[in-house]
A = this chain, B = another copy of it.
C-alpha cells in the first residue's frame, strides 16, 4: 500500500459511482475505476479503467495489486449472488467453514467479508463519506415542505422500528402511515418496496382518489459498515414515494447518501412531499 497511489473505485450499479467519479475529477484527485460487469451503468463503464466480474476475486485482487491504490472504495449496488456462487468465489481465498459462516450471516456480513479480504491484501478500504462528505445528508437538509404532527409521529415510530430490526441485518427503510407499518424493506430495495406500497394501497384501500399519507423512513442500521453499505436516496425514490401516496421522506442525518441533492429536493417540492434529514438518537 502506498499513500500516494490513486483512489480505486470498485463500481457497482446506480448513479452513486458516477457522482463520486465526477466529484473526484472536479477536485483534481487521482483515481482509477474498476467496473463490475453487469452492474456498473453504461456511462460509467465508458469511463472505467477496467471491467471485471463481481465474483472474479483473482482479477480484482491482481488489479488492485497493480494499481497500488492509496485507498479502495466499494461504491454502488451489487445484487447478492447466489449462495453457491459466493461460496465458490470466496473459497479461493479462505477457509471453507469461515466462508460459509460469513455468507450465512446476511448481506452486511457478505460485504464485510469482501472488505476483510481486501484489507488482508494490505489495502485501505474507505467509504464515500471519506472521499466525498458533501454527498452525505447534513442534519439541516430539508425541502420546502414540513412534516405535520402525524408525519412526525410516523417518523419517530419508524425510526424505533428500524432500530429494533438492526439486530436482524434487515430494514434500512420502512413505510409508516400514522402508527401503521405498511412495509419493511427487504433485499428488494427501497424503490421496489415503494411500488409494493403503491400496489397495496390500490388493491386494499381504494387508493387513487386522494393522497393517503405516510412516510418513507430510511436510516443506517446500528453497526452497519457505512464504508460499503450506506443507505441512499435520490430523485427516483422521491417519485416512487409520491406514486405510493406518501406525504414525505425522512432520512438519517450523517448516515444517508443523497444522490443529486438539488434535483432530489426540487422533485420533492414539486410533487408536494416533505423531505427532511433527522438526527438519530
For residue A183, CB closer than 8 A to chain B, the reply is: yes
**Which of B83, B85, B178 is the one whose CB lies under 8 Å from A104?**
B178
Which B residues lie within 8 Å of A200 (CB)? 186-188
Contact with B along A157-169 (1 / 0, CB 8 A): 1001100110111
How far is A180 from B109 in the complex, measured between Cα atoms in Å?
10
Which B residues lie within 8 Å of A196 (CB)? 186, 188, 196
Which B residues lie within 8 Å of A186 (CB)? 181-184, 196, 200
Interface segment among A204-212, A227-235, A266-274: the answer is: A204-212
Contact A181 B212 (CB under 8 A): no
How far is A27 from B212 in the complex, measured between Cα atoms in Å?
46
For residue A80, CB closer than 8 A to chain B, the reply is: yes
**Which of B79, B161, B170, B206 is the one whose CB lies under 8 Å from A82?**
B206
Contact A169 B165 (CB under 8 A): no
Contact B106 A181 (CB under 8 A): yes
Interface of A is mostly: mixed
Contact B180 A212 (CB under 8 A): no
For residue A81, CB closer than 8 A to chain B, the reply is: yes
Residues 81-100 of A contacting B (Cβ, < 8 Å): 81-83, 85
A180 and B188 in contact, given A82-B212, A83-B212 (Cβ under 8 angstroms): no
Which B residues lie within 8 Å of A103 (CB)? 178
How far is A150 from B104 in the complex, measured between Cα atoms in Å?
9
For residue A107, CB closer than 8 A to chain B, the reply is: yes
For residue A236, CB closer than 8 A to chain B, the reply is: no
> In the assembled complex, how far is the CB of residue A149 from the closest CB belonging to chain B, in whole angstroms?
11
Which B residues lie within 8 Å of A164 (CB)? 164-165, 167-168
A182 and B178 in contact, given A165-B164, A168-B164 (Cβ under 8 angstroms): no
Which B residues lie within 8 Å of A58 (CB)? none
How far is A203 from B212 in the complex, measured between Cα atoms in Å?
30
Beyond the given A81-B205, A82-B212, A161-B165, please list 15 additional residue pairs across the A-B interface where CB-CB is below 8 A: A80-B205, A82-B205, A83-B205, A104-B150, A105-B178, A105-B179, A106-B179, A157-B168, A164-B164, A164-B168, A165-B165, A182-B186, A182-B187, A188-B200, A188-B204
15 residue pairs from A and B, CB less than 8 Å apart: A82-B205, A82-B206, A82-B212, A105-B179, A107-B180, A157-B168, A161-B168, A164-B164, A164-B168, A168-B181, A169-B179, A169-B181, A181-B186, A187-B204, A188-B196
